[in-house]
Amino acid sequence: MQMNESISTWIKKNFFDTPASACTSLVLGLAVLWIGWKICDWAFLSAVWTADVNACRAGEGACWGFVAEKWRLILFGRFPFEEQWRPAAATLLVMCMLVLSGLPLMWRCGRLRLLAAAWVAALAGFFLLMYGGAFGLARVGTDLWGGLPLTVIITFVGMTLSSPIGILLAIGRRSRMPIISSLSTTYIEIVRGVPLITVLFVAAFVFPLLLPSSFKTDAFWRVAVAIALFQAAYMAETVRGGLQTIPNGQYSAARSLGMTPRQVYQYVVLPQALVAIIPAFVNSLISCFMDTSLVTVVSMQDLLGSLRLALGDAQWRGFFIEGYVFISLVYFLLSYAVSRYSLWLERRLTGKKRRELPDLR
């Protein structure tokens, strides 16, 4: 009884406190119900779930048959059809390592080396499965990589390389040595002033022209490193913001105890600063995950590019909405999982609950 009364009191306070709020709540509630019904009818009740083009054209709802027919092309791109278990296993391997790395029991000093060794083995397994050429696996060039595996590995490589570079740039920008500070600031400002598309275009097409004809590099690695260097400039400003939250007194106190500048940053400043920038870091991670869609301008087919390949089939071209909804769900679910984990990690490391804003009504 008390629970019912508390719920009714909460509803009255938040939705029907005044005549204006009651009217607004009713209008918006009806609009949400109407829109929800239309979406439910289109997506589920009137939808076609089988890969039947004629049924999809005759129906009025969503044609999920397009996804049922093309999901392997969307998720794995132009990777040979018979070998698509390899990119699936490779992606699952990296995902499992990310989950394992997020478990607190793996953060103990004695297990960090084991975790590092596991990552080396996992990445070796990933590239072995993707490249092939050994253990009876057919050789598959990076030009045939695509879909979700390409999106995941570019994001992983980009963020893994950009994080330490960004930390060094942030520290360098705060350095008292003019040459180091100037070089770090110049790099950050130049990179942040250039669109990512330009960086990718230079890495894919211009950079090879500057190299000797006998020296060849894989386009995948050029693009991955370009994204890492581009992301490092933004990471540097994120880390610099975290460093500015640490009082100068802590640095002075650590120096007075005989610590070297490297030890001060390693044991005192950076642990606090990196915890403070968790929300901004996750935002950069999600942004990098989304920005991988730009690799299509250099003829690499990520998840979005693979969808465009699937839409190249004239029979299914008219059902592009369902395709974009499908990959949007993939992007959303992965981003949402990372976001929720970051909130949990922030609470665990800071020992604080989320601060609620005061009621200003």
Q: What was the pLDDT predicted at 309?
A: 93
% residues pLDDT > 70 (the chain) = 96
Q: What number is the average pLDDT over the span 57-83?
A: 94
Q: What was the pLDDT predicted at 84?
A: 96
Q: Which two tokens stand for residue 230?
A: 């581009």
Considering only CA atoms, which of 156, 198, 166 is closest in space to residue 294?
A: 198
Task: Give the C-alpha separation, 235 to 231, whole Å.
Answer: 6
Return the higher-pLDDT residue of 183 and 351. Answer: 183
| pLDDT tier, 217 (very low <50, low <70, confident <90, very high otherwise) | confident
- Computed over every residue of the chain, the mean pLDDT equals 90
Asked if 66 contacts 315 with a C-beta cutoff of 8 angstroms, the reply is: no
Q: What number is the average pLDDT over the span 313-335?
A: 94
Residue 361 has pLDDT above 70, yes or no: no
Asked if 89 contacts 135 with a C-beta cutoff of 8 angstroms, the reply is: no
User: What is the per-residue pLDDT across 148-184, written as a single tens digit (0 to 9) for each?
Assistant: 999 999 999 999 999 999 999 999 999 989 999 999 9
Q: What was the pLDDT predicted at 12?
A: 79
Counting Cα atoms < 13 Å in the Cβ hemisphere of 79 gives 30
Residue 360 has pLDDT above 60, yes or no: no
Task: Give the C-alpha separation, 162 to 170, whole Å.
Answer: 12
Q: What number is the average pLDDT over the span 217-242?
A: 94
| pLDDT tier, 1 (very low <50, low <70, confident <90, very high otherwise) | very low
199: Cβ contacts below 8 Å, ≥ 6 apart: 191, 226, 227, 229, 230
Find the angle CA(153)-CA(157)-CA(159) to the nearest 5 degrees: 115
Q: What number is the average pLDDT over the span 25-52?
A: 93
Task: Give the C-alpha separation, 199 to 65, whole Å.
Answer: 38
Q: What number is the average pLDDT over the span 48-56?
A: 92
Considering only CA atoms, which of 101, 115, 98, 143 is closest in space to residue 289?
A: 98
- Tell me the backbone φ, ψ of residue 310, rounded to 5 degrees: -65, -35
Task: Give the C-alpha separation, 334 to 237, whole Å.
Answer: 25
Q: What was the pLDDT predicted at 10?
A: 80
Residue 226 has pLDDT above 90, yes or no: yes
Secondary structure of the chain in HEC code, one letter for each residue: CHHHHHHHHHHHHHHCCCHHHHHHHHHHHHHHHHHHHHHHHHHHHCCECCCCHHHHHHCCCCECHHHHHHHHHHHHCCCCHHHCHHHHHHHHHHHHHHHHHCCHHHCCHHHHHHHHHHHHHHHHHHHHHHHCCCCCCCCCCHHHCEHHHHHHHHHHHHHHHHHHHHHHHHHHHCCCCHHHHHHHHHHHHHHHCCCHHHHHHHHHHHHHHHCCCCCCCCHHHHHHHHHHHHHHHHHHHHHHHHHCCCCHHHHHHHHHCCCCHHHHHHHHHHHHHHHHCHHHHHHHHHHHHHHHHHHHHHCCEEHHHHHHHHCCCCCCHHHHHHHHHHHHHHHHHHHHHHHHHHHHHHHHHHCCCCCCCCCCC
Asked if 304 contacts 211 with a C-beta cutoff of 8 angstroms, the reply is: no
Residue 319 has pLDDT above 70, yes or no: yes
Residue type, 159: M
Q: What number is the average pLDDT over the span 207-211?
A: 85
Residue 94 has pLDDT above 60, yes or no: yes
Q: What number is the average pLDDT over the span 221-242?
A: 95
% residues pLDDT > 90 (the chain) = 70
| pLDDT tier, 4 (very low <50, low <70, confident <90, very high otherwise) | low
Say if pTM beats, i.e. exceeds, 0.75.
yes
Q: What number is the average pLDDT over the span 196-204?
A: 92
**Max Cα distance, the chain (Å):** 81
Q: What was the pLDDT predicted at 83?
A: 96
Burial of 228 (0-12, 13-18, 19+ CB in 10 A): buried
Residue 43 has pLDDT above 90, yes or no: yes
Q: What was the pLDDT predicted at 2?
A: 47
